[in-house]
Amino acid sequence: MVLLLKIQFFVLMKRRLPAEWEPQSAIQFTFPHADSDWADALDEVIPCFVACIETVSRFEKVLVICRRRAEAGMLLKNAVQKNLILVECPSNDTWARDHGAITVEENGQAALLDFMFTGWGLKFPAFHDNLITGRLHEQGVFGRLPLRRPGLVLEGGGIETDGRGTLLTTSECLLSPNRNPHLSQPELEAKLTEWLGVNHFLWLHHGYLAGDDTDSHIDTLARLCPEDVIAYVCCDDPNDEHYPALQAMEAELRSFRTREGKPFTLTPLPWPDACYAADGHRLPATYANFLVVNGAVLMPTYGAPQDEAALAAIAPCFPERQVIGINCRALIEQHGSLHCISMQYPEGVL
């Protein structure tokens, strides 16, 4: 009888994965601390986190996961205090996009999906980060919203949706042998259809960024925007190591079709001048790692000559939102950027 009821539950369940540009209740950040990978660069990276959190707090609530509430509160004293929610919780690192809950609608009501986070395919420790969503739920941060555990490895930075059943992703990431090796591509698509309600899959097989630890997360390469627009990184320098792969990626994007069989409108984003770490390795600077919030788009900048052009390029994709640049040069030292450190919660979650 219990098995029959479970089968009936999933048959009747209709899920939808909302687009990032839909109304939000909050953005989550996980604050850096001395036991994270930021230990040697806290003075450089904390101002970037503070700038991001203060900016988002002007538009909506911000959920900040931190080790010590009082310490974080002092650093965030200039944020809009009524929109600031500080919660103490252990963490390994700061990449909320990948350890935060993914929100779906279940028959029109919000529900949280707690996918497994394994440090991007077992590359880095994630034993605390993998538990953050469950611990927040136990503390009542999400009220009485249901929390589901699909039993799959999935990071929020690895998927993009338009809120209408389309999923844009990369085979390098989702089909990585260190994530869900027991599933073939058709089997994984079936699981994603079950849990996210998506059924129109767009797989990119080309494109990468040097220095990236995520196996080509889609949010570093190409982003779905309203009105069937895809904003993507475009390398126009034949002498750059990325040129062949990103040209091939652009050709794939041109071949993609919407659910209605129409081509997408493609918006190329500028290619920033190369950024390098102190040891000489190239860092994954990308303008595709922007964050959409209520009333605004936050665009990462890097102190590069192309920063202003990037702000101008994304503005037509979100004509009713303010475009705000935030210097994220410090973030790419640990191989992520603005979208990577944030996770949105749609309306009805907080």
Residue pLDDT, tens place only, 45-69: 999 999 999 999 999 999 999 999 9
Is residue 135's pLDDT more than 90?
A: yes
The pLDDT value given to residue 3: 53
CA 254 to chain centre: 23
Is residue 75's pLDDT more than 80?
A: yes
DSSP letter (8 states) at residue 121: H
What residues are paired with 32 via a beta bridge?
A: none
280-304 average pLDDT score: 98
At residue 121 the predicted structure's pLDDT band, cuts being 50, 70 and 90, is: very high
Is residue 79's pLDDT more than 70?
A: yes
143-169 average pLDDT score: 98
192-211 average pLDDT score: 98
Q: Which fold has domain 15-346?
A: L-arginine/glycine Amidinotransferase; Chain A (3.75.10)
CA distance 299 to 289: 7
The pLDDT value given to residue 5: 44
CA distance 30 to 343: 10
Percentage of the chain modeled with pLDDT above 70:
97
Is residue 125's pLDDT more than 60?
A: yes
CA distance 146 to 137: 9
The pLDDT value given to residue 151: 97
Is residue 266's pLDDT more than 90?
A: yes
Which residues, including other chains, have CB under 8 Å from residue 110's CB and lie 6 or more apart?
A: 103, 104, 145, 346, 347, 348, 349
168-190 average pLDDT score: 97
Mean pLDDT of the chain: 96
74-78 average pLDDT score: 98
DSSP 231-255: EEE----TTSTTHHHHHHHHHHHHH
Q: Greater confidence, 7 or 242?
A: 242
CA distance 256 to 248: 13
342-346 average pLDDT score: 98
Q: Where are the domains of the chain?
A: 15-346
120-141 average pLDDT score: 96
291-299 average pLDDT score: 98
The pLDDT value given to residue 13: 82
Which residues, including other chains, have CB under 8 Å from residue 170's CB and lie 6 or more apart?
A: 158, 203, 204, 205, 207, 215, 216, 217, 218, 221
CA distance 347 to 21: 11
At residue 1 the predicted structure's pLDDT band, cuts being 50, 70 and 90, is: low
pLDDT tens for 207-233 read 999 999 999 999 999 999 999 999 999
135-161 average pLDDT score: 98
* pTM over the 0.85 mark: yes
At residue 269 the predicted structure's pLDDT band, cuts being 50, 70 and 90, is: very high
